[in-house]
Amino acid sequence: MTDKLYYQNSHLFEFSAEIIDCIRREDRAYDVILDRTAFFPEGGGQRSDEGMIGGVQVLHVSEKEGIVFHRCEVPMEKGRRVDCRIERETRLRRMQNHSGEHVVSGLVHTRFGFDNVGFHMSDGFMTVDFSGELRNEEIVQLEQEANEIVRANVPVTAFFPSPDQLKALEYRSKLDLTQNVRLVRIEGCDLCACCAPHVSQTGEIGIIRIMDHMRHRGGTRITLTCGMDALEDCRRRQKNTVRISNLLSARQEDIADAVDRLLENMAAQKLRIAELSMANVEYLASGTDPVKGNICLVDRLLDEVALRELVNRLSEKCSGIAAALFPSGEGQWRYIIGSRNVDLRKNALLINRGINGKGGGSSMMIQGSCSGDVEQIRHFLTEIHLS
Ligand SMILES: [Zn+2]
């Protein structure tokens, strides 16, 4: 059994140990076993610690039957004493996050009676699933109370109760364990079965931020970030705010209103463009004399709706087909073709073949895309005789 220093002291980042064994693994890596370790193996939703053993990088840490395995890329000599160092910043951030999660889950349990039914820790944030629905104002209240517990700076302790003691205690747990249960107590807030290292006092968590919440499988999923990760998230958001504020020439506290005004403006302009397009359609259609044969025009300004209307109007003025083309990319065109006299559905294949296109529609109107030299396409559509 490895002596698990991380259970006794969650703030031990440097220690020395003796190499008890070094086992070659199938994937050409090595599992190093120490007599004692402060490296936390993966568990309780928290990833394993990173760091160095005797100057060698630790890739992953796992535990099996009380023995902790440190996966390394190179073999290490049995019996050697080594200095070990845990990647401090990463571990501290994970503890801030994980302890913050216990505070929130403890509060949700006491206030609402909901259980934590899912927990995932990513880089920089966590997602926590609760068994019941939480309303917006309850989320705000929850975040407030969680941060009051941070401010109260209450002790966080871990202990292994005897089976009898355990029976008498009320605690949160996902599994029905009776042996070697480690409980983490946040004074006045939470008691939960957990194997991970935690902060010593809630003040160390720094800040608890609920970034988002949504309905999830009949309950609630929250996205949570704490401590230094929360500070970083705050900086990212601030950077965005400053950028938006500069782009809109609005004060930072007014950017939402400025975006509202911008969207209103855009909607009004869209309406104006549609009106102008229709006026242009009217102008183009009334200025075209009736012809025997086909009409084909290329337009870069009108939108698809206006062009369809134009084709409709022009098809009344020709005995053949009325076609409109507009660009959709380099050498790429969209087409709309209408006719009062020619069955377009029947002729679609022939037309598409002639303009290197694809598309279809009704007997009175087809549309699609084509590619190639626009003058050649125009020539084809103007000259083709269809019946
Ligand atoms: Zn936990």
CA 38 – CA 4 distance, rounded (Å): 6
Is 370 contained in some domain? Answer: yes
Tell me the CA–centroid distance for residue 192 and ligand 1, in Å.
7
pLDDT at 214 over 80: yes
CA 254 – CA 229 distance, rounded (Å): 26
**Does residue 38 share a domain with residue 7?**
yes
**Does residue 130 share a domain with residue 60?**
no
**Does residue 293 share a domain with residue 227?**
no
pLDDT at 228 over 90: yes
Q: Nearest to residue 346, comparing CAs of 334, 355, 335, 337?
A: 337
Is 24 contained in some domain? Answer: yes
SS3 content of the chain, % helix, strand, coil (to 5): 40, 30, 30
pLDDT at 271 over 80: yes
**Does residue 159 share a domain with residue 61?**
no
Strands 56-64 and 51-53: antiparallel
Question: What's the CATH code of the domain at 43?
Answer: 2.40.30.130
Strands 116-121 and 208-216: unpaired
DSSP string, 182-233: -EEEETTTEEEE--S---SBGGGG--EEEEEEEEETTEEEEEEEEHHHHHHH
What integer best gives the mean pLDDT of the chain? 95
Is 269 contained in some domain? Answer: no
More confident residue, 315 or 303: 315
Query: For residue 40, what are the domain limits?
Result: 3-86
* pLDDT tens profile 340-383: 999 999 999 999 999 999 999 999 999 999 999 999 999 999 99
**Does residue 352 share a domain with residue 375?**
yes
pLDDT level of residue 326 (50, 70, 90 thresholds): very high
Q: How many domains does the chain have?
A: 3
pLDDT level of residue 180 (50, 70, 90 thresholds): confident
CA 364 – CA 362 distance, rounded (Å): 5
**Does residue 80 share a domain with residue 105?**
no
Domain boundary among 215, 240, 265: 240
**Does residue 344 share a domain with residue 314?**
yes
Tell me the CA–centroid distance for residue 38 and ligand 1, in Å.
17
Rounded mean pLDDT of 201-230? 97
pLDDT at 176 over 90: no
Is 262 contained in some domain? Answer: no
Q: Which residue has the tokens 């895309």?
A: 369
pLDDT at 206 over 80: yes
Question: What's the CATH code of the domain at 297?
Answer: 3.10.310.40
**Does residue 293 share a domain with residue 201?**
no
Tell me the CA–centroid distance for residue 188 and ligand 1, in Å.
17
pLDDT level of residue 22 (50, 70, 90 thresholds): very high
Is 48 contained in some domain? Answer: yes
pLDDT at 60 over 80: yes
pLDDT at 178 over 80: no
Rounded mean pLDDT of 57-76? 96
pLDDT at 70 over 90: yes
Strands 190-193 and 183-186: antiparallel
Rounded mean pLDDT of 167-174? 91
**Does residue 128 share a domain with residue 204?**
yes
Is 245 contained in some domain? Answer: no
Is 266 contained in some domain? Answer: no
Per cent of the chain over pLDDT 70 is: 100
**Does residue 143 share a domain with residue 71?**
no
**Does residue 232 share a domain with residue 96?**
yes
Tell me the CA–centroid distance for residue 15 and ligand 1, in Å.
24
Domain boundary among 86, 114, 147: 86
Question: What's the CATH code of the domain at 182?
Answer: 3.30.980.10
Helix, strand counts (H, E) of the chain? 9, 20
- The environment of the single-atom ion ligand 1, i.e. residues with CB closer than 5 A, is 44, 194
Tell me the CA–centroid distance for residue 332 and ligand 1, in Å.
57
Tell me the CA–centroid distance for residue 146 and ligand 1, in Å.
16
Tell me the CA–centroid distance for residue 203 and ligand 1, in Å.
17
**Does residue 288 share a domain with residue 217?**
no
At residue 44, the pLDDT reads 81
pTM for this one?
0.80
At residue 27, the pLDDT reads 87
Tell me the CA–centroid distance for residue 197 and ligand 1, in Å.
8
Tell me the CA–centroid distance for residue 85 and ligand 1, in Å.
23
pLDDT level of residue 112 (50, 70, 90 thresholds): very high
At residue 247, the pLDDT reads 97
pLDDT level of residue 387 (50, 70, 90 thresholds): confident
Alpha helices by DSSP H, the chain: 5-8, 88-112, 136-152, 163-168, 227-248, 255-286, 304-315, 344-355, 374-383
Instruction: Return the ∠ at Cα 183 (arms to 177 and 185), rounded to 5°.
Output: 150
Is 79 contained in some domain? Answer: yes
Tell me the CA–centroid distance for residue 41 and ligand 1, in Å.
13
pLDDT level of residue 63 (50, 70, 90 thresholds): very high
Domain boundary among 55, 86, 117: 86
CA 116 – CA 105 distance, rounded (Å): 6
At residue 199, the pLDDT reads 98
At residue 107, the pLDDT reads 98
